[in-house]
Amino acid sequence: MTDGRPVAGVPLDTEAIRKDFPILDRTVHDGKRLVYLDNAASSQKPRQVLDAMSDYYERHHANVHRGVHVLAEEATALYEGARDKVARFVNAPSRDEVIFTKNASESINLVANMLGLADEPYRVDSGTEIVITEMEHHSNIVPWQLLAQRTGAKLKWFGLTDEGRLDLSRIDEVITERTKIVSFVLVSNVLGTLNPVEAIVRRAQEVGALVLIDASQAAPHMPLDVQSLQADFVAFTGHKMCGPTGIGVLWGRQELLEDLPPFLGGGEMIETVTMSASTYAPAPHKFEAGTPPIAQAVGLGAAVDYLTSIGMERIAEHEHALTRYALERLAEVPGLVIVGPTSPEDRGATLSFTLGDIHPHDVGQVLDEQGIAVRVGHHCARPVCLRYGIPATTRASFYLYSTTAEVDALVDGLEYVRGFFG
């Protein structure tokens, strides 16, 4: 760092970073050092986030907004301050474009429901089309299936190439004049693929369709700029980016948020209420019914401060180098086949693989016995497994505190697995 600002190109001091994460000191299974490679499912939390949350509860907790006492004002300032931090983190033009939700799933469900309830030109109904991709997390499939079933709209999707990339060869037939919304993942949570935003957004804009980007696997790992993405909505989730569970974000373009109707009703989201009708608060509060996740927002704000102090560019560089190393090392394991791009270009630090005919659940269990935490299964993206004709994969996913020594431990662990079942 110079002048207190992180500089791209300066490698991360992972040893120092790891000291911020108390859980990484843990041992499991009779003293085995924990090798945590399940970051795509959820990241660990630094002391700075844990402290911010306990300080909030120990000294400032009260319900937010409209309170006249000191604690209510402090809690409101902390909650709304977290919104400012998140807005800066994603380069949002306005803090009012940042809606706090429970998680990315709720953010996507919110958009799907808004579009089902909206007036023209945004309304999704029969005769219109919704476009997703075959590499989506269930959170970006099921809300659209529900909307399609409810409205009669048609659900379409981009398929995948054998290399684990989106097949955009028929983009003009998939995204058409009837398309109302295109919703796709920026980085796949199974394949690791980083998708080509520009081509998809350009085509969507040509036909006047809205675009939602699921940035759940991107926001924790690389600089995220909602303005340069040029989407209409961006969703992500706090617990994968050093923040707590129970908080997610939906960023939306201001004029859209002004036009679109609320989905959930309750306290906090109204302007006035009579027994026969209500008027609504402006965005973002229009979309935040009920007592919000206050402590969780405070934690997310602290997480964003933490990541920013290290530098998202540097985190991305670190993970890129680690991914390159992991791809090389995993290629040495006989019978291991990567499911997803095999070169480090345009991909994130999530590596899924199969290992001969050893079932991923067995791989995961034997790795766990050695203290190595990976995830096995379909990773809530079952269509990806169906596409590649496999029941499940083993997935190792890295983060800013991951090291080459942990990659080596994984490779050694996999050799042990092979021996165990060999």
Ligand X SMILES: Cc1ncc(COP(=O)(O)O)c(C=O)c1O
Query: Could you tell me the smallest distance in angstroms from the CB atom of residue 348 to ligand X?
Result: 10
Question: Which of 45, 60, 85, 137 is in the footprint of ligand X by CB under 6 A?
Answer: 137
Query: Could you tell me the smallest distance in angstroms from the CB atom of residue 54 to ligand X?
Result: 22
Query: Could you tell me the smallest distance in angstroms from the CB atom of residue 218 to ligand X?
Result: 9
90-118 b/e (C-beta count within 10 Å ≥ 16 → b): bebeeebbbbbbbbbbbbbbbbbbbbbeb
Query: Could you tell me the smallest distance in angstroms from the CB atom of residue 235 to ligand X?
Result: 7
Output the six-digit token pair for 108. Answer: 């996507």
Sign of the torsion angle spanned by Cα atoms 299, 301, 302, 308: positive
Query: Could you tell me the smallest distance in angstroms from the CB atom of residue 220 to ligand X?
Result: 10
Nearer to ligand X, 85 or 239 (CB): 239
Query: Could you tell me the smallest distance in angstroms from the CB atom of residue 270 to ligand X?
Result: 26
Residue type, 307: L
Output the six-digit token pair for 145. Answer: 């299936």
Output the six-digit token pair for 5. Answer: 């600002």
**Residue 216 makes contact with ligand X by CB under 6 A:** yes
d(CA 261, CA 283): 10
For residue 124, give Cα distances in angstroms to 54, 171, 210, 407: 43, 20, 11, 46
Output the six-digit token pair for 362. Answer: 């067995």
Nearer to ligand X, 248 or 293 (CB): 248
Nearer to ligand X, 92 or 135 (CB): 135
**Residue 189 makes contact with ligand X by CB under 6 A:** yes
Please state the φ and ψ torsions of residue 156, each to the nearest 5 degrees. -125, 165
Pairing state of beta strands 210-214 and 32-33?
unpaired
Which are the contacts of 28, defined by CB distance < 8 A and separation ≥ 6?
34, 368, 371
Please state the φ and ψ torsions of residue 12, each to the nearest 5 degrees. -70, 145
Nearer to ligand X, 148 or 185 (CB): 185
From residue 245 to residue 284, what is the string marking binding to ligand X with x (rule CB under 6 A)? ---x------------------------------------
Residues 35-74 that bind ligand X (CB under 6 A): none
**Residue 183 makes contact with ligand X by CB under 6 A:** no
Nearer to ligand X, 128 or 140 (CB): 140
Residues 68-107 that bind ligand X (CB under 6 A): 103-105
Nearer to ligand X, 212 or 380 (CB): 380
Sign of the torsion angle spanned by Cα atoms 26, 27, 29, 32: positive
d(CA 8, CA 223): 11
Nearer to ligand X, 140 or 370 (CB): 140
Question: Which of 179, 195, 217, 296 is in the footprint of ligand X by CB under 6 A?
Answer: 217
Of 181, 187, 204, 380, which is the active-site residue? 380
Which are the contacts of 303, defined by CB distance < 8 A and separation ≥ 6?
45, 46, 49, 238, 241, 242, 243, 244
**Residue 350 makes contact with ligand X by CB under 6 A:** no
Which are the contacts of 170, defined by CB distance < 8 A and separation ≥ 6?
none
**Residue 237 makes contact with ligand X by CB under 6 A:** yes
Query: Could you tell me the smallest distance in angstroms from the CB atom of residue 186 to ligand X?
Result: 8
N-to-C CA span, the chain: 48
Query: Could you tell me the smallest distance in angstroms from the CB atom of residue 245 to ligand X?
Result: 8
Query: Could you tell me which stretch among 160-168, 214-222, 303-311, 312-320 binds ligand X (CB under 6 A)?
Result: 214-222
Concatenated DSSP letters of 326-391:
HHHHHTTSTTEEESS-SSSTTB-SEEEEEETTB-HHHHHHHHHHTTEE-EEE-TT-HHHHHHHT-S
Told to judge if 385 belongs to the known catalytic residues of this protein, a careful annotator would answer no
Question: Which of 39, 109, 139, 354 is in the footprint of ligand X by CB under 6 A?
Answer: 139
Query: Could you tell me which stretch among 74-82, 209-217, 312-320, 389-397 binds ligand X (CB under 6 A)?
Result: 209-217
Q: Site size for ligand X, by CB under 6 A?
A: 14
Q: Which residues lie across from 12 on neighbouring strands?
A: none
Query: Could you tell me which stretch among 31-39, 135-143, 165-173, 274-282 binds ligand X (CB under 6 A)?
Result: 135-143
What residues are labeled active site? Answer: 380
Interface ranges with ligand X (CB under 6 A) = 103-105, 137, 139-140, 185, 189, 214, 216-217, 237, 248, 380
